Structure formats: structure tokens, C-alpha cells
Amino acid sequence: NAGVMQNPRHLVRRRGQEARLRCSPMKGHSHVYWYRQLPEEGLKFMVYLQKENIIDESGMPKERFSAEFPKEGPSILRIQQVVRGDSAAYFCASSPPIYNEQFFGPGTRLTVL
Amino acid sequence: QKEVEQDPGPLSVPEGAIVSLNCTYSNSAFQYFMWYRQYSRKGPELLMYTYSSGNKEDGRFTAQVDKSSKYISLFIRDSQPSDSATYLCAMSWNSGGSNYKLTFGKGTLLTVNP
């Protein structure tokens, strides 16, 4: 059973470009969570999604950031008009319908030049 | 004051030592306490999960929670070089029937020297 998959593992963008980060949850998991780990900081919760629904986006920055988890395909975290401060590791986690624990992916490291 | 405080280390110990890792927190609503291990360039991996106060043991690992002091600990006995990693404490509370929103400490970098 493959774990949580994230791609790309590394992403370089110039200021003003868009970044798209993808997350495929573990088989049988229908809940997805996104976290951001800034340099020298702990992981911060961003958003919790179920298929076609955003359940809690209380950790998402108000502008430029959006997330989706469509009926088919991976969850996408989208950052528009990236700035240097968006440089971080972005981790996705998934859990089964009956929550017990979150299983984390390897992360996408975003570098904004 | 941050919700969760964790000494970032780094912490370096000889093989076989007992390691003590700690976190303090300010939010008394936290009920669920976790320790994750994160190897370099990898995602966090759940090590221990504890509900409310008390101790939990799993092999060489023991987790302790003292809610009255808002203090949690992870002890590693007979530490091995393969235990070298960053250890993250995390906690959550039951919100709307689920405890999914994890609040993490910054992590402690541990090196076990052979």
C-alpha cells in the first residue's frame, strides 16, 4: 500500500509565478490536510479537505492561496503570484474516514527566487 | 507566548544513552498528544499517541503527559544511531467531533553517536 504521494518534491518559481503542489492520499483515505513548514518554524496547519469539500481553511493565508480536492485526482494546493516568503516545505497528510491518525507525505520544497 | 514550546537543540548523545525530549504548551484545551519523528528531507512519522494525562510505553519509547503542568515528554531508552532525527511534539483538541488540527512544536534535532 503506497503511502501519501506528493509531487513535485522540489519546485522553483520566480516571484509572481504560480505554484501548484499535488497530493495523492493513501488508498482508502478520503481526508486530506495541508501543512506548511517555514524555515526555523514548526509545521502549521493550513487546510482540511474532504472530497469536493473544504472543511476547515482557518490556517490558509487570506490571499493568493487556495486548495481543492476534486472527486477524481489528487488534492491541489495552489499559490498564485508567489513571493519569497512563500519559500517553505509544504506537507500533505491524509486520514481514513474514521479519523485515527494523519499519515504524512514527503513534502514539496518550494523555493521562490 | 507560542502555543507549543520545544527546545530545538541540537541534542547529541552517545549510543545507548537515555534521551529526554520535552514540550510545554499554553492551551489547556489540548487533549491529544503526539510525538513524530522526521528524518532529513522526509515527512513526519507518528511515534506515540496519548490521550489526556499519563504514560504510554512502546518498546524503547515512553511518552508522558502532565496536563496539570502543561508538559509532555518523550523518553528513548538505549538510543541507537538510527534514532538520529528531528522529533516533533504535536497536540490537538476535540473540535466539532474531531481532533484533526495538529499544533506542532518546532522540533528537536537529535544525533546519536556510535
| pLDDT, average across residues A14-28 | 96
The three grid cell numbers given for residue A60, joined into one nine-digit string:
490558509
Task: With beta carbons less than 8 A apart as the criterion, state whether B91 and B100 touch.
Answer: no
Best residue of B87, B102, B106, B108 to probe chain A, by most A CBs closer than 10 Å = B102
Which residues of chain A neighbour B105 with C-beta distances below 8 Å? 42
Which residues of chain B neighbour A48 with C-beta distances below 8 Å? 100-101
CA distance B112 to A46: 33
Residue A15 is predicted with a pLDDT of 97
* DSSP code at position A25: P
Q: Does B19 touch chain A (CB under 8 A)?
A: no
Q: Does B58 touch chain A (CB under 8 A)?
A: no
Is residue A10 classed as helix, strand or coil in its secondary structure?
strand
| pLDDT, average across residues B43-50 | 92
Cβ-based neighbours of A32, under 8 Å, separated by 6 or more: A23, A25, A48, A49, A50, A69, A75, A92, A93, A94
Residue B96 is predicted with a pLDDT of 65
Q: Which of A110, A61, A59, A63 is nearest to A84 (CA)?
A: A110
The residue to which cell 541534542 is assigned: B11
Q: In this model, does residue A1 exceed pLDDT 70?
A: no
Radius of gyration from C-alpha coordinates of chain B: 14
Report residue A93 CA to chain centroid gap: 8
> Residue A101 corresponds to which amino acid?
E
| pLDDT, average across residues A108-113 | 96
Which residues of chain A neighbour B42 with C-beta distances below 8 Å? 106-107
Residue B1 is predicted with a pLDDT of 65
Residue B93 is predicted with a pLDDT of 84
Confidence band (pLDDT; 50, 70, 90) for B7?
confident
Q: Which of B33, B40, B42, B46 is nearest to B6 (CA)?
A: B33
Between B52 and B73, name the one with better pLDDT: B73
